[in-house]
A and B are shown apart, each in its own frame.
Chain A
Amino acid sequence: MISLAGRDILHSWSKFVFTGIGLGLLIGVTLSMAGIYRGMVDDAKALLNNSGADLWVVQQDTLGPYAESSSIRDDVYRSMLGLSGVARAANVTYLTMQVRKGESDVRAMVVGFEPGQPGQPEYLVAGRQITRNHYEAVADVKTGFQIGDVIRIRRHDFTVVGLTRRMVSSGGDPMVFVPLKDAQEAQFLKDNDAILNERARTAANPSLNRPGVPGLLEAIQASQTSNRNVNAVLVQVVPGTSPEAVANEIKRWKHLQAYTRTQMEEILVAKLIATSAKQIAMFLVILAIVSAAIVAFIIYTMTLSKIREIAVLKLIGTRNRTIAGMILQQALGLGLIGFLVGKTAATFWAPIFPKYVLLEPGDAIRGFIAVMLICAIASTLAIRAALRVDPATAIGG
């Protein structure tokens, strides 16, 4: 027996190819959506891996530092170092802001860290780590900066000495690493007018500007402009120690929140990315319905245009099963063309996306199965129409 479906596809191949391409672009979008979600999860994991921490210590009752703002005093890390099981502890700050790149602005997450301590980017793709305590920066390649470029953050210029790859915030903004002190300053640094204003106001306050107390006003003004807060303390535990035990210790005694790596992953993936994931899931559902509608419509109209041939096929003794199989195979053929086009398109355009798109083979396989199921379901409408055709109509009137 010859393949009726195959012959029909060859006969009207242009219809199949063009519909297949249209469907394929939809499938490509679907695969990319899944890829964007996978990319977000992967970015989050890369972010956690590269910070080199076992514990994130943040303000009590917050989900900081990535999912919620957290502020703690910058001397907290010292008390961490005193705990048993803690190998290293260091302050970090995170602030998403516009940084100046030549004539334009780049949105970036500025990370303040102490060179050589947890929080320092682990892998550089070019250049070196920061060695000076001021005005050097390591930037992610996504910022567009190159080694030797100058980044302007607030009122200070930083020279780029190293480059990282795939260091992005959970919002997708590339990171710029600067020394902690500079970052703290940038976070709370006010512009000149604001400082002059504040100084004048302090000076005008008689309780702060007392005659006969030399140096008081200056001390107050200095404390107002300097910043003694950080967003989190990153802790590395002594090898062999359980991070959970140390985290419990910190929570019990220090009135702080401490998250282990698994908890942090949970926060990033389940809480922060959850909304995006739902959004993407919503899109996937809509795209699946649209694809099903397209396949159903095309296969249905193609079947209706063949009613006479189907009646003849039935009259000369073709089984219903053979006719249903022909329509089903055509729908699956359309799905196959669509999937191949979609997979190719998604692979081709993934690198052009501003966010990282991770196309997992597992998603491709799941996508393929879904496409085939959708096509099979979509063909039922046409199959029912074909099975209702009365062979007597071939004999006519």
Chain B
Amino acid sequence: MNGLGIHIEGVRKRYGEGDTAVDALKDVNMTVAPGEVVGLIGPSGSGKTTLLKCLGAVIEPSAGRMTLGSEIIYDDGWKIPDLRALRRDRIGFVFQAPYLIPFLDVTDNVALPSMLAGRSNKDSRKRAMELLEALDVAHRAKAQPSQLSGGEQQRVAIARALINQPPVILADEPTAPLDSERALSVIRILNQMAQQYQTAIIVVTHDEKIIPTFERIYHIRDGKTFEENGEGKKP
């Protein structure tokens, strides 16, 4: 089991100080169970990216408490010391653009976080191949990222996010560049992976095509979150 999934309580984030200060997050509360995929939806400027950055341990909240997996990572001014290792071992990132490393082939792109965590090249590549097979891109294992289609690149990026079996995956508009069939296939894969590895996944999206697939959706408006039950139409 991958601990407690994601638990966020009263998180606030203020950018800047004084007159120019922006309260991007005012009161964010979220819970994502292990094995669950939730949607995060909100208008532009509502604080979605800010929240992902806080959860992704690249910016620090101003207040509140965040728990990832079995670890409290932030508690009212206290944060765990090694954020870099936290990102490497406990969080998988999937972006709107796949952002693969252009000078590594598909296998090594996927294997890299595992190698960075100190596992051998051989083990890392073996695990990468398993994931590529699960995501149906194993036939492109030796290709360069530039030789892949958009959908293939996104699946490789998902494999990379999964390789260290993180308790948490943060996905920022992962389906934006894809047509509806491929978008749904990405969501199907995320659901499958969440089930298989007991990963808690947050998907930030505007994408009308995939919104009906979530069982639970968090709306964020003006820095505050509201929970809603989704349609849960599994793709």
Contacts and interface: CB of A to CB of B under 8 A. Distances in A.
B160 A394 contact: no
B103 A12 contact: yes
B99 A312 contact: yes
B101 A395 contact: no
B27 interface: no
A365 interface: no
B88 interface: yes
Interface in A300-326: 308-309, 312-319, 322
B73 interface: no
B107 to A, nearest CB: 10
Interface string A365-397: 000000000000000000000000011101111
Contacts, number: 74
B121 A316 contact: no
B93 A1 contact: no
B34 interface: no
A309 B102 contact: yes
B108 A2 contact: yes
Given A7-B108, A11-B102, A312-B99, A395 B56 contact: yes
Most buried by B among A7, A319, A395, A396: A395
B84 interface: yes
B117 interface: yes
Contact of B101 (A10, A313, A319, A396): A313
A10 B101 CA distance: 13
A75 interface: no
Interface string B34-74: 00000000000000010011001011000000000000000
A8 interface: yes
Given A2-B108, A318-B116, A392 B103 contact: no
B8 interface: no
B126 to A, nearest CB: 15
Given A316-B88, A316-B112, A394 B101 contact: no
Interface residues of A, number: 26
Interface in B123-171: 144, 160
A394 B87 contact: no
A312 B85 CA distance: 14
Contacts of B184: none
A316 B160 contact: yes
Interface residues of B, number: 29
A395 B53 contact: yes
Contact of A317 (B84, B95, B101): B84
A309 B103 CA distance: 10
A315 B88 CA distance: 8
Contact of A312 (B52, B88, B101): B101
B23 interface: no
Contacts of A322: 116
A174 to B, nearest CB: 55
Contacts of A391: 58, 87
Contacts of A392: 53, 56, 58-59
A309 B56 CA distance: 17
B59 A316 contact: no
B31 interface: no
Contacts of A12: 103
A395 B172 CA distance: 8
Interface string A7-21: 110111000000000
Contacts of A308: 99
A2 B121 contact: yes
Given A2-B115, A315-B56, A316-B93, 20 more contacts: A2-B121, A4-B103, A4-B104, A7-B108, A11-B103, A12-B103, A309-B99, A309-B101, A309-B102, A314-B84, A315-B93, A316-B113, A316-B160, A317-B88, A317-B117, A318-B116, A319-B84, A391-B87, A392-B58, A394-B95
7 contacts: A2-B121, A11-B144, A312-B101, A316-B116, A316-B160, A317-B116, A395-B56
